[in-house]
Amino acid sequence: MIPAQFDYVAPTSLEDALSALAQAGDDAKIIAGGQSLLPVLRMRLNAPELVIDLGKIDSLRGVRDDGDAIVIGAMTTHATVGSDPLVAEHAAVIHEAVKHLADAQIRHRGTFGGALAHADPGGDLGAPALILGAQFVIAGSGGTRTVAADDFFVDLFETAIGDDEILTEVRIPKHTGWGAGYEKFVRIAHQWPIVSVAAAVKVDGGTISEARVGFANMGSTPIRARGVEQALTGQSASADAVRTAAAQAAEGTNPPSDLNGDADYRRHVATVLVRRAVLAATGA
Ligand SMILES: Cc1cc2nc3c(=O)[nH]c(=O)nc-3n(C[C@H](O)[C@H](O)[C@H](O)COP(=O)(O)OP(=O)(O)OC[C@H]3O[C@@H](n4cnc5c(N)ncnc54)[C@H](O)[C@@H]3O)c2cc1C
């Protein structure tokens, strides 16, 4: 289908984008890479009167080192994130997850901020951002605020970003030296996961000193597998210990049932993927 008619602006500064957004209110929509928004417009699930393109705002693009965090600009493409050495060194689980995200064409158009703002429960980036304790920097006409990952994902396709706000960057605390694993289960290549698991693990002298594990598509938002994290902490980084901890993977989850699989099936898949992701992260 052809989208409903809309006006289009491509401001060159964040201030101009915010002012266009403030003037248009509910009638405006931000476009980043367009990989999720354009299908929505084409299906006429949304019909904004104004589309505000962030593509000409250079300050929203790039990855930088900021002391104890790396900062990823909202308009940084998945391809850039996937090949950035800072991401690989300090946020290895994001580096792993991006490899599994869609196909090369989409990775060159779609953006880190756009994917997180879209908040698809099956998105590949939500769980890695959640487990690394990402901080989301959101600008509005009244200034800038920072929202912790625990508060950013509100519900299905809903985040803490207000209608008159723009996500500008995501700060990821450095997890240097942590092992990482990302496991994604799909029926069709280059698609969203039926279930996916992100794992980041710190191993000191053969013992797991800290573990962070998260899911996509096991609820309406990305969620942490807290039971597994607790069960892993203090254990030896061995295949047996990981297998025992993974058995609790589905606790506290509320997976959907759909044509790809029912909730029980997803719970089973989650257990298998947690074991594989944590084993990859520990190197056991
Ligand atoms: C065929 C196909 C397969 C895909 N497979 C996967 C997959 O396997 N895994 C996966 O995770 N994703 C997948 N995607 C989605 C892809 O990751 C998109 O890049 C992503 O969902 C949206 O990023 P975007 O930059 O294109 O955002 P857009 O489509 O431009 O925007 C998405 C939404 O976010 C809002 N938005 C964007 N940027 C901002 C901002 N800075 N501040 C506030 N709001 C903003 C927009 O208004 C819109 O509502 C797939 C997409 C397609 C078309």
pLDDT at 190: 79
Most ligand 1 atoms within 8 A of CB, residue of 26, 37, 118 to mutate:
118
What residue has token string 């605020």?
A: 145
pLDDT at 192: 86
On whether the CB atoms of residues 178 and 279 are closer than 8 A, the answer is: no
| Per-residue DSSP letter, 3 | P
CA distance 212 to 179: 10
Query: From the alpha carbon of 29, which atom of ligand 1 is closest?
Result: 47
pLDDT at 48: 95
The answer to whether the CB of 106 is under 6 A from ligand 1 is yes
The answer to whether the CB of 222 is under 6 A from ligand 1 is no
Neighbours of 176 (CB within 10 A): 12
CA distance 6 to 8: 6
The answer to whether the CB of 212 is under 6 A from ligand 1 is no
Most ligand 1 atoms within 8 A of CB, residue of 21, 31, 35 to mutate:
35
Element (H, E) at 274: helix 263-282
The answer to whether the CB of 116 is under 6 A from ligand 1 is no
Q: Please tell me which residue, 39 or 1, carries the higher pLDDT value.
A: 39
Percentage above 70 pLDDT, the chain: 100
Most ligand 1 atoms within 8 A of CB, residue of 21, 37, 41, 156 to mutate:
37
User: pLDDT band for position 284 (50/70/90)?
Assistant: confident
- Which parts of 34-165 are beta strand (E)? 50-53, 63-66, 69-73, 135-140, 143-148, 153-155, 158-159
Residue 282: both structure tokens together: 């520990």
